[in-house]
Amino acid sequence: MELKKFVDALPIPSFITPKESYQGAPLYEVSMIETLHKFHRDLPKTKVWGYNGQVPGPTFNVEKNQPIYVRWTNHLPLKHFLPVDKTIHGAHHNPEVRTVVHLHGSPSEPDSDGHPEAWFTRNFQQTGPHFMKEIYHYPNTERAANLWYHDHALGITRLNVYAGLAGLYFVRDEQERTLPLPKGKYEVPLMIQDKTFNPDGSLFYPAQPDNPSPNLPYPSIVPSFLGDTITVNGKVWPFLNVEPRKYRFRLLNASNSRTYKFQLSNLRPFYLIGTDGGLLTRPIKVESLDVSPAERIDIVVDFSRLGGQKIVLQDGFELENPTGEIMEFRVSKSLSCPDQSKVPLLLSRIEPLRVNKVRKIRRITLNDSQDEYGRLMLLFDDKEWMDPATETPLLNSIEIWELVNLTPGIHPIHVHLVNFRVLDRYDKDGRLLIPLPADYGLKDTVLVAGGETVRIIMKFQPFSGDYVWHCHRLEHEDHDMMRPLKIIPFHSSNHSNSNRHQTDM
């Protein structure tokens, strides 16, 4: 249905505060609750699942090296309100409503990482085979960055995230604070998700593909989902009144499958200053940015000479369609104080990873396949989730992964625990491609376009244990485009130099 654009103000999700302390660190309480949420002026309230009943969930704002604990609890109903396909991995014999929280971008211990099989039901009545504890620990040892948390339950992640289970998590540090970037109310988070609404306000999610073949189960997973309506921070096509000055936008693509080409309607350039893993070394002036699901961009937009104007944040891939517009900035306010913010030429330092210390190079294909119902499946090396782990790096070792996309579609590839660097990209004929602007930063999710090969380099630290890596198009992830990542502690290997893990770099 067509909703009027730019009639609701952009909400800013509130910060969460800890209620008590636990083992010497702040303990936060977050409970998943079914509630009603107002997405648009003209739309009846929508049933959602929200962390603490909020969509997006409350925002965490933590300091580097100050660990926290979070008790995530599930107070959701026992039945899902979106169509659960019981034929796919994890959904078969398990309770219909399961949840587990992953803090995306965090170097968490394995028992706090939100393994897809560490799920739990309401009041922890039932738990998955990987479940280890109720209270998660986040060490916050990473540099300042824009992380996010979201549901990760095996086989229903696409439905739980679409139902509303996602929120923002900012890590701050001293180095970032010394920079004269726009701060306070001039730093604005934007969580972007596409949705489709039924006329009664309820969320629509397809129960099967448009032209189902006769032997498909019902409901049946779809290979991709694109909503016809764009939401930002839980509002449909909102507007934001801004002053004629610089703003820093912390933008997250939290959509199930949609990749955007973000640009401004006045086609003015803006600055990319950071990526998934925090600030770049230097700002990059850009006119548009391609951002696939789960990627974050940190940008500075200068409205200072645009007083009185309206500028729309657009998706350059969809300019012919309603979804080509995302939100409107109205430079309607007057300057409340002079703008002393700047985009410094040097933003931060990023430690290089040396190619000559690489222990292993893995070549992994992204390929299509079919399941027993003849449905399209997208896989890594033709392997399914339940196949034995093949990505088993040694703790503290450096590896290069060559992600060879044999399919025509985009796959945002996410590796848990680590930040990686993008080394290079090639087209299907092996020709070197121009890097994307985001390739200059620290990444945990990389856009791999159809036919491309992208090489990433990373060091597997600081923990060993069971993690995962996967495509972040949630319809792909739920249908086996996810694999175990088993990081092997040093002592169980037969490597000869026993101090290697301490001296290496």
Binding footprint of ligand C2O on the chain (CB under 6 A): 102, 104, 150, 152, 294, 414, 416, 468, 470, 472
Q: How far apart are CA 29 and CA 54, in angstroms?
A: 13
- Nearest-approach distance from CB 488 to Cu ion, in angstroms: 26
- Nearest-approach distance from CB 476 to Cu ion, in angstroms: 3
User: How many CB atoms lie under 10 A from the CB of residue 502?
Assistant: 8
Q: 388-391 long-range CB contacts below 8 Å, 24 or more apart?
A: 389/483, 389/484, 389/485, 389/486, 390/483, 391/362, 391/364, 391/469, 391/483, 391/484, 391/485, 391/486
Residue number, 98 or 472, with CB nearest to ligand C2O: 472
What six digits make up the tokens of 142? 């990473």
Residue number, 201 or 484, with CB nearest to ligand C2O: 484
Give, as ranges, the residues between 367 and 406 that touch Cu ion (CB under 5 A). 378
Residue number, 102 or 383, with CB nearest to ligand C2O: 102
Q: With contact defined as beta carbons under 8 Å apart, do 57 and 51 qualify? A: yes
Q: Does 471 bind Cu ion (CB under 5 A)?
A: yes
Q: Does 411 bind Cu ion (CB under 5 A)?
A: yes
Q: Which does 102 bind (CB under 5 to 8 A by kind): Cu ion, ligand C2O, none?
A: ligand C2O
Q: With contact defined as beta carbons under 8 Å apart, do 46 and 203 qualify? A: yes
- Nearest-approach distance from CB 116 to ligand C2O, in angstroms: 8
- Nearest-approach distance from CB 286 to ligand C2O, in angstroms: 24
- Nearest-approach distance from CB 396 to ligand C2O, in angstroms: 22
- How many residues touch Cu ion under the rule CB under 5 A: the total is 6
Q: With contact defined as beta carbons under 8 Å apart, do 291 and 263 qualify? A: no
Q: How far apart are CA 143 and CA 147, in angstroms?
A: 11
Using CB atoms, what's the residue nearest to ligand C2O?
104
Q: Does 479 bind Cu ion (CB under 5 A)?
A: no
Residue number, 163 or 240, with CB nearest to ligand C2O: 163
Which H, E and C letters describe 61-93, residue by residue?
A: EEECCCCEEEEEEECCCCCCCCCCCCCCCCCCC
- Nearest-approach distance from CB 1 to ligand C2O, in angstroms: 29
Q: Does 296 bind Cu ion (CB under 5 A)?
A: no
Which residues, including other chains, have CB under 8 Å from residue 321's CB and lie 6 or more apart?
none
User: How many CB atoms lie under 10 A from the CB of residue 117?
Assistant: 22
Residue number, 245 or 470, with CB nearest to ligand C2O: 470
- Nearest-approach distance from CB 105 to ligand C2O, in angstroms: 8
Q: Which does 104 bind (CB under 5 to 8 A by kind): Cu ion, ligand C2O, none?
A: ligand C2O
Residue number, 103 or 311, with CB nearest to ligand C2O: 103
Q: How far apart are CA 347 and CA 343, in angstroms?
A: 8
39, 41, 44, 46 alpha-carbon torsion, rounded to 10°: 10
Residue number, 100 or 236, with CB nearest to ligand C2O: 100
Q: With contact defined as beta carbons under 8 Å apart, do 149 and 30 qualify? A: no
Q: Which does 471 bind (CB under 5 to 8 A by kind): Cu ion, ligand C2O, none?
A: Cu ion
Q: Which does 476 bind (CB under 5 to 8 A by kind): Cu ion, ligand C2O, none?
A: Cu ion
Residue number, 294 or 454, with CB nearest to ligand C2O: 294
Q: Which does 250 bind (CB under 5 to 8 A by kind): Cu ion, ligand C2O, none?
A: none
User: Between the CA of residue 380 and those of 221, 389, 477, what are the distances in Å?
Assistant: 19, 12, 11
Residues forming the site for Cu ion (CB under 5 A): 378, 411, 471, 473, 476, 481
